[in-house]
Amino acid sequence: MMALGYYAGGCLNGANDNLIFTELFKRPDWLRGGVGPTAIDRRLALFERVMRQGVGAMSVLRWPALCRFRRDQGGGLSGQPSAVGWMTKEPNCHLFAERILERWPQALFAYVTRHPLDMAYSDNKGQLGNWGWLFDLDPTAFTAPEAAQLEYWIRTQRRLDSLLERYPGRIHPLNFDAFAVDPKAHVKALADRLGLEIGDAALTAAVSGVVRPATIGRWRDRDLSVFTPDQLRFCQETGWPVDPTTDA
């Protein structure tokens, strides 16, 4: 989407995650304190100001740690006259989807999902550790960490289903596994949702760096007995295969 003209910010890590969003919102203790929609909205407003205008004096006054992003963020969107708009990619965005959709009525939320069993066997358990409590999930209550990981995915998926009902047309679910196989088709679908008229050459260039990760399908070589029948049933009912002998 950056290749198609969206400004993603000047402070990105190797995965193109927006580090300013991380600074402002990856705050489990802040959320544990019981912050309400107004407090989250104020922080989103600060984030928007930084994305549009860069890190100005008022932003630093509000959040002194933003000073370290000042040079790399530059003038923000205002310094990118050819950009079609601004975007943010960051793993914790989904936790604030409701407030994001309320704050920016014209925004489209692209919600990326991988195969839940691949997610269960991921070594990255940061989301579960940081945010499991938001979904009333105690990882120690499960016989295996993979089962806790899968339960986290299930509960976030149920929340997504609720959001899709409450915000029709505002959320674009994107199947990462299918995207990795045919990225052009999925980027074209997302571009259409955004009202972008993109030629085939631009689409080809935009997806030229897409690589199908070797971790896709890792669940097929793992022990699925660590999961409950209900967990596996939920995966299957939501369109994800759980029989390793079947095709993806």
What would the pLDDT profile of 221-234 be if each residue is shown by its tens digit? 999 999 999 999 99
Q: CA quadruple 221, 222, 228, 230: dihedral positive or negative?
A: negative
Q: Per-residue pLDDT for 119 more than 90?
A: yes
Pairwise CA distance, residues 118 & 69, whole Å? 34
Residues sharing a CB contact under 8 Å with residue 186, sequence separation 6 or more, in sequence order: 174, 175, 178, 179
Can you tell me whether residue 220 is helix, strand or coil?
A: helix
Phi, psi of 143 (to 5 degrees): -75, -20
Q: Per-residue pLDDT for 204 more than 80?
A: yes
pLDDT of amino acid 247: 67
Q: What is the pLDDT of residues 20-35, one digit of tens each?
A: 999 999 999 999 999 9
pLDDT of amino acid 180: 96
Q: How confident is the model at residue 133 (pLDDT cuts 50, 70, 90)?
A: very high
Average pLDDT, stretch 41-51?
98
Q: Per-residue pLDDT for 246 more than 90?
A: no
Q: Which two tokens stand for residue 234?
A: 């939920």
Average pLDDT, stretch 2-17?
97
Pairwise CA distance, residues 223 & 235, whole Å? 16
Q: Per-residue pLDDT for 122 more than 70?
A: yes
| Separation in Å, CA 127 to CA 69, 103, 131, 150, 177 | 24, 24, 6, 12, 20
The mean of the pLDDT values for the chain is: 96
Which residue spans within the chain are E strands per DSSP? Answer: 6-7, 85-86, 109-113, 171-175
Q: How confident is the model at residue 245 (pLDDT cuts 50, 70, 90)?
A: confident
pLDDT of amino acid 63: 97
Q: How confident is the model at residue 84 (pLDDT cuts 50, 70, 90)?
A: very high
Pairwise CA distance, residues 50 & 84, whole Å? 17
Share of the chain above pLDDT 90, in %: 98
| Separation in Å, CA 122 to CA 24, 117, 161, 243 | 26, 9, 23, 19
Q: Per-residue pLDDT for 248 more than 90?
A: no
Q: Per-residue pLDDT for 57 more than 80?
A: yes
Q: Per-residue pLDDT for 182 more than 80?
A: yes
Average pLDDT, stretch 106-112?
97
pLDDT of amino acid 30: 96
